[in-house]
Amino acid sequence: MKKKSIGDNPALVSILASIISIVVGLVLGFILLLILNPSKAGVGITAMLTTGVSSLDQFGKVLYQAAPLMLCGLSVGFAFKTGLFNIGASGQYTIGAFCALLGAIQFQLPWFLCLILAMIGGGIWGIFPGLFKSKFNVNEVITSIMFNWIAMFLVNLLLANMPKMLASAWGASNSDRTAALAKANPSAIIPKAGLNKLFGNSSWINISVFIAILVAVIIWFILQKTTFGYELKACGMNKEASKYAGINANRNIVFSMIIAGALAGLGGGLYYLAGTIQYVLVKSILGMGFNGIPVALLANSNPLGTIFSSLFISFIQVGGSAMQPNFSSEATDIVIAVIIYLAAFSLLMKMMLSNLLKRKGKEGKKA
């Protein structure tokens, strides 16, 4: 055991495993494209892989979409570190988005107050699954799925009964979406801080991605350096031992879900306060929260890893939307799903890889 092989470095194995999973996913995605539309498959995969960096504008879009993804990933990952599967990021995200828009349009607040409202809203939405889990030992997956639906219909119901919130109140004709912030309250739009000039007048870019990265670093710090993080992780890894250590596991479950909810809620705020998107009243749950799951899985729930995994998934999504004339939006969604799905296999890949490397290392030593 003198010479260190790659197999001895777990961090490196993790990264390598993630990269291999991504490559396998891309290959499978390409095969799917070949089946769907053979003549355009090459163009399609090129679009998917290059659009994100084809222009500064598109790159700006990648960064903009990465911010809410990152926060949803952090939300899922943070809860996961403490032993909870927060599948309710979507609902928390929806409530966060609603609270942000409520602050922006109804109450005419500036953007940072709206973001705080978004966090509070998401946090409150996280309390319920947490409380049910800690008080009655109800599985958080079930409650948070229900709360996803409750969040969506509640927001739809509220918006439908708040005329001031809708676009129709601000000079537009449609009443199926919230008002455009440029008209309703420009001060609620997240500042671009000159980034748009840097990014070739991209309409997408703003400081949200930096806010998200800052939050990721803060979450990393909490988990890694504080007694609170120590307790949370202990609860996640071994609830019985943390109880033995005098840690109030039930209280920590609630705290953990509040923080996870606040993170997803902030994600909702960041996405809808950019001024480019309006919240549309639909009858399906927003996918962003669910996309947080692969983001977290790909990063192995590591807050810093989440920064990169969210950028990757955002990149694939932006690329996917550029494939649309040649492939239907459903087809691109399937391909994106395949790639993300395979990417989430990184854990399995990691296990296989470390076994393989160990065996190789041993053979090498014998020789």
Partner 1 sequence: MAEDYVIEMLHITKEFPGIKANDDITLQLKRGEIHALLGENGAGKSTLMSVLFGLYQPEQGVIKKDGKEVKIKDPNDANRLNIGMVHQHFKLVECFSVLDNIILGVEDTKNGFLQYAAARKKVMALSEKYGLRVDPDALISDISVGMQQRVEILKMLYRDNEILIFDEPTAVLTPQEIDELMEIMRGFKKEGKSILFITHKLSEIMAVADRCSVLRKGKYIGTVNIKDTTKEELSKMMVGRDVQFSVDKKPAKPTDTILSVRDLRVPSRTHNNDAVKGVSFDVRKGEIVCIAGIEGNGQTELVYGLTGLAKTTGGTITLDGKDITHASIRERSKAGMSHIPEDRHKHGLVLDYSLEQNMVLQRYWEPKFSNKGIIKADEVRKYAEMLIERFDVRSGQGPITISRAMSGGNQQKAIIAREIDKNPKLLIAVQPTRGLDVGAIEYIHSQLIAERDKGHAVLLVSLELDEVMNLSDRILVIYEGEIVGEFDPKKVTVQELGLYMAGAKKQSDVGKGA
- Residues near partner 1 (CB under 8 A) are 1, 225-228, 230, 233-234, 237-238, 240-248, 358, 362
- If the CB atoms of residues 210 and 244 are measured against partner 1, the closer one turns out to be 244
Q: Residue 312: what residue type?
A: F
> What is the C-alpha separation between 258 and 127, in angstroms, rounded?
5
Least distance CB 262 / partner 1 (angstroms): 18
- If the CB atoms of residues 246 and 325 are measured against partner 1, the closer one turns out to be 246
Q: In Å, how far are 76, 101, 203, 291 from 105, measured between CA atoms?
A: 29, 6, 21, 27
- If the CB atoms of residues 194 and 246 are measured against partner 1, the closer one turns out to be 246
Least distance CB 230 / partner 1 (angstroms): 6
Least distance CB 318 / partner 1 (angstroms): 36
> What is the C-alpha separation between 44 and 325, in angstroms, rounded?
10
- For the beta carbon of residue 225, count every other beta carbon within 10 angstroms: 10
Least distance CB 229 / partner 1 (angstroms): 8
> What is the C-alpha separation between 122 and 269, in angstroms, rounded?
10
- If the CB atoms of residues 188 and 259 are measured against partner 1, the closer one turns out to be 259
Least distance CB 353 / partner 1 (angstroms): 14
> What is the C-alpha separation between 59 and 48, in angstroms, rounded?
13
Least distance CB 75 / partner 1 (angstroms): 22
- If the CB atoms of residues 193 and 237 are measured against partner 1, the closer one turns out to be 237
> What is the C-alpha separation between 352 and 358, in angstroms, rounded?
10
- If the CB atoms of residues 40 and 239 are measured against partner 1, the closer one turns out to be 239
Q: In Å, how far are 122, 163, 315, 320 from 68, measured between CA atoms?
A: 13, 27, 13, 18
- If the CB atoms of residues 11 and 237 are measured against partner 1, the closer one turns out to be 237
CB-based contact 336:320 (threshold 8 Å): yes
DSSP 8-state code for residue 104:
I
Least distance CB 304 / partner 1 (angstroms): 18
Show the CA angle centred on residue 354, arms to residues 239 and 338, nearest 5°.
85
SS3 category, 273: coil
> What is the C-alpha separation between 297 and 312, in angstroms, rounded?
13
